[in-house]
Amino acid sequence: MSHQNAPSAYRIRPGVPADIPRILFLERSIETAPHWNEADYQNCFNLIEEARIKRKLLVAENPETYALLGFTVAKTTELSSSFHLDIEAELESVAVATDAQRLGIGRSLCIAVRDWAKASAAISLDLEVRSRSGAAIALYRSLGFTPYATRPDYYRDPVDDATLMRLILTPPSCGKQASE
């Protein structure tokens, strides 16, 4: 793989609505990326009071050319019981431009999501990945994720199983009191 057009440096920043057209273009150029519609990405910016689900969109870009190199979408979900409020996080999507892969951008995006999830008091960070995506599974394992389940024939075009992985961030029920 040639990295002739790949940057030597990149930055990760919060996504903004103006990034959506570039995100759509990038994700459609990657066969195995989840293909969301524009409204799905727009929902990352729709802040609803009292929302139990919060999304975070992060982008990686070349600081000189502002070229989009990758992005990730994550969410936190509040789960309340009568005694505790626990927060779980999910890495919903991560994609890196083909000519920028294997440069650490995907790792940096995943670390940024992990840090956001921890700062959001999440107890765990979950993801699902194509079972045949050996490089992605190796990356997630190196970050501390462990597989815990498989969804047979979950993906289409091409058909593949989903491997579910989890990273424990804090013990359950150590979150905020539900009455707070």
Per-residue pLDDT of the chain (180 residues; tens, 9 = 90+): 334 455 568 999 999 999 999 999 999 998 878 889 899 998 888 766 556 888 999 999 999 899 999 999 999 988 776 566 788 999 999 999 998 988 999 999 999 999 999 999 999 999 999 999 898 999 999 999 999 999 999 988 788 999 999 999 986 554 444 444
The verdict on residue 2 lying in a domain is: no
- Residue 169: which of 127, 111, 118 has the closest Cα? 118
* 71 C-beta neighbours (distance < 10 Å), count: 27
How many separate domains does the chain show?
A: 1
pTM listed for this prediction: 0.85
Residue 110 neighbours by CB distance under 10 Å: 24
In a domain, 163, yes or no: yes
Residue 4 lies in a domain: no
In a domain, 133, yes or no: yes
Q: Counting Cβ atoms within 10 Å, is residue 106 exposed (0-12), middle (13-18) or buried (19+)?
A: buried
In a domain, 179, yes or no: no
Does the residue 53 lie in any domain? yes
- Which tokens hold the place of 68? 């989009």
Nearest alpha carbon to residue 138 among 96, 178, 102, 168: 102
Report yes or no: 112 and 127 within 8 Å, Cβ to Cβ.
Answer: no
The answer to whether position 123 is within a domain reads yes
Range of the domain at 79: 11-172
**CATH number of residue 91's parent domain:** 3.40.630.30
Q: Could you tell me if residue 5 is inside a domain? A: no
